[in-house]
Structure 1
């Protein structure tokens, strides 16, 4: 039952969180491209990084969305970003427009879900077959021999 719960949780993470994050990153493929500087470092994969760049003559400090890479970069690091002209407050590293780390985590959590789902089905079947094949200790057949499949 625990394995089935892990499978459902991992599948939900893949479908409800990481897949939309990867699609969001891909939506920037046709966005405006510009050079930026890492403004706030943190765990970019969970959306804690910010970049600074110029858009239409204004200096903008934009969030890098969930699933972005670049977490090992330090403040001041230069990078190329893409943003939507109508919303420059969110930018994506140019390297992440293919889905970035979110796409990788989608595959990993989906694979984990599949593994635990198969295991949660196979384990009880295997256990029930083992119980039928093993003779029960202390039980004898009417002929006096051990009880089992060959000696009912």
Structure 2
């Protein structure tokens, strides 16, 4: 066993493991930002001009993850619809009143009126994107470190 491997074993992860973990975290956070949160923010913004209605929270949960439902009247019928990913209001209890916006042609597509600016989802998209850049930079630094180690060993 060489000195570098002994040092890595005693003090934590080696440079290869650090590279792989940073790369995986960076790619995962980039996917979260680009494939989930930015589209969620755009979806919320698309409901800005939707029909307005008063609703009650039907099922509470993690609204940011899209696990809340609201109940409201649209065109004379009762509609129960899921709040989209990126919604706020998760700390409210079932039965809480809120203003919503929905698509006139499909009332099951809703968003809280407070969320139609896309703020919470956009903020999370930028934060996860920034964290992705950070972890990808760490992966790049680890790759440079490994390349330099390999080059000095081969001399």
State TM-score, norm by structure 1.
0.79
In the alignment, structure 2 segments of 5+ residues that lack a partner are 1-19
Instruction: Give the drift of 1:107.
Output: 0.9
CA distance in 1, matches of 2:80, 2:31: 32
Deviation by residue 1:57-110 (Cα, 9 ceiling, x = unmatched): 212111111111110000111111000010101210011101142212111110
Does 2:56 correspond to 1:56? no
Counting only pairs closer than 5 Å after superposition, residues 3-152 of structure 1 correspond to structure 2 as 3-125=22-144
Query: Normalising by the residue count of structure 2, what TM-score does the alignment of the two structures yield?
Result: 0.77
Q: CA RMSD in A?
A: 2.1
The answer to which of 93-102 and 117-126 deviates more is 117-126
Q: Could you list the runs of 5+ residues in structure 1 that have no partner in the other structure?
A: 134-152
Matched residues, number: 134
Cα deviation for residue 46 of structure 1 reads: 1.4
Q: Is the 8 A contact 1:69 1:100 kept in 2?
A: no
Structure with the higher helix share, 1 or 2: 2
Say which one has the larger Rg: 1
User: Secondary structure at the residue paired with 1:34?
Assistant: strand
